[in-house]
Amino acid sequence: MGESVHTVTTMPTARRPGCPFDPPAELLDARRHGPISRYTHPGGKPGWLITGYDLVRSILADPRFSSRKELMNVVDFELPPAPPGEFLLMDDPQHRRYRKPLMGRFTVRRMRLLTERIEQITADCLDAMAETGPPADLVTAFAKPIPTIVICEILGVPYEDRGSFQEQIDTFMGGETSDEELIAAYTATQEYLAELVAAKRAKPTDDVLSELTDTDLTDEELKGISLILLAAGFDTTANMLSLGTFALLRHPEQLAALRADPALTDGAVEELLRYLSVAKTFMRTALEDVEVGGQTIEAGTTVVLSYNTANRDPERFSDPHVLDLRRQSDGHLAFSHGIHQCLGQQLARVEMRVAFRALVDRFPTLRLAVPAEEVGLRPETADIYGVKSLPVTWDEERS
């Protein structure tokens, strides 16, 4: 085709001032030019950037595109393959071998059974917040502890270890520390998980990790699986909770609607997932030449899939930049699509439904404690988008 292709040379990082929830303007601009743009990876390798909903979704469902880490063609040197158990960056059949024993443990039904427990965890966090505040940082009081405690229970981290474990994962996923600190925290987490696996093998308790010791997976593999559950499940959910609260506070009419109508909760969670798309981009590499959107993606070329731009595609969602808790947001790509679609999504849904509901019910006067422009946002270079902290306040109950 003679049409010229839009080119994006570096990943756009600037969100428009006052629009912290919208993808960078340049990314939306790329989408306006077409669903596929030429792109240069930060390491200098040529690639493609996919911003259109239909194209992103079809690539995710296409087995000619690989998730394998060692095939990612973005830097000059060859990346090592994903360590045993870290199946997010593997293809089938390896991917399936790891995902399969986990699937039965994250079903809709099984996750719903956790509702009461998650309600309890949430109530405890909100009690503590009410006791020490106002004001409070919603990130440390609410958004982080809930998914941390949940993942600790799934992995069977004993109570006495939780404090130090939480600190470690906070350091290695917060992205706010020096490289040395980061590596130290990462190593410590790895070591801790290895010990945890050994402990569960010796003396199984009532949790997912212990159940997995009953399969043919090795200790090394179980450590990798634990790490991926932690890495994929904690920061994502925490940022959905904090950025989601920020978004609700900035849309008072939507927040009021949610508060007034509990039946809106499930839809609100889906719409927040779509609108915020905190897991912004993932990559796939073409295993053969593939014709996509009128272009040929050559074998070995890595494409960047922009889930957040796809979720704002006007051809799929009308008025995509409007947060509308009542819309049909099904089909959003916040949990991806294809064989890697989020394993923990039903858990994340229960956590968000419970936590947002409890928060709006418990604090009817919740509001930002600082001007919105002063809320610190994560840089676009962070894997997961979100706020650094969210200072909030409320009127204390008169009794």
Partner 1 sequence: MTTAFLRVDRELCIGAGMCALTAPEVFDQDPEDGRVLLLHAEPPTARRTAARMAAGACPSGAITLHETESDSSSS
Q: Least separation, in Å, of the C-beta of 279 and ligand HEM?
A: 4
Measured CA to CA, the distance from residue 90 to residue 83 in angstroms comes to 10
Which listed residue (99, 144, 251, 353) binds ligand HEM by CB under 6 A? 99
Query: Contacting ligand HEM (CB under 6 A), which of 24, 174, 320, 344?
Result: 344
Least gap, CB of 282 to ligand HEM (angstroms):
4
**CB neighbour class for 268 (10 Å; exposed up to 12, middle 13-18, buried from 19):** buried
Residue 330 touches which of ligand HEM, partner 1, none (CB < 5 to 8 A by kind)?
Answer: partner 1
The listed partner (ligand HEM, partner 1, none) that binds 51, CB under 5 to 8 Å by sort, is none
DSSP H/E element including 305 = strand 302-306
Q: Which of 99, 223, 251, 357 binds partner 1 (CB under 8 A)?
A: 99
Residue closer to partner 1, measured from CB, 101 or 391:
101
Asked whether the bond before 84 is cis by omega within 30 degrees of 0, the reply is no
| Complex with ligand HEM: residue 20 or 394, whichever CB lies closer | 20
What whole-number distance in Å separates Cα of residue 119 and Cα of residue 355? 7
Can you give the length of the chain in residues? 399
Rounded least distance, CB 109 to partner 1, Å: 7
Beta carbons of 90 and 68 less than 8 angstroms apart: yes
Return the one option of partner 1, ligand HEM, none that residue 103 interacts with (CB less than 5 to 8 A, by type): partner 1
Name the 3-class secondary structure at 311: coil
List all residues 6 or more positions away from 67 whose beta carbon is below 8 Å from its beta carbon.
88, 89, 90, 91, 95, 282, 283, 284, 340
216 binds partner 1 (CB under 8 A): no
- CB–CB of 56/331 below 8 Å? no
Q: Using DSSP bridges, classify how beta strands 136-137 and 391-393 pair: parallel, antiparallel or unpaired.
A: antiparallel
**278, interface contact from partner 1, ligand HEM, none, CB < 5-8 Å by kind:** ligand HEM
149 makes contact with ligand HEM (CB under 6 A): no
Residue numbers 320-359 binding partner 1 by CB under 8 A: 330-331, 335-339, 341-343, 345-346, 349
Which residues, at least 6 apart from 36, have a Cβ–Cβ distance to it below 8 Å?
A: 5, 48, 49, 50, 51, 52, 55, 292, 293, 294, 295
> Where on the chain is the footprint of partner 1 (CB under 8 A)?
60-61, 96, 99-100, 102-110, 330-331, 335-339, 341-343, 345-346, 349
> Where on the chain is the footprint of ligand HEM (CB under 6 A)?
67, 87-88, 95, 99, 151, 228-229, 232-233, 236-237, 240, 278-279, 282, 334-336, 340, 342-344, 347-348
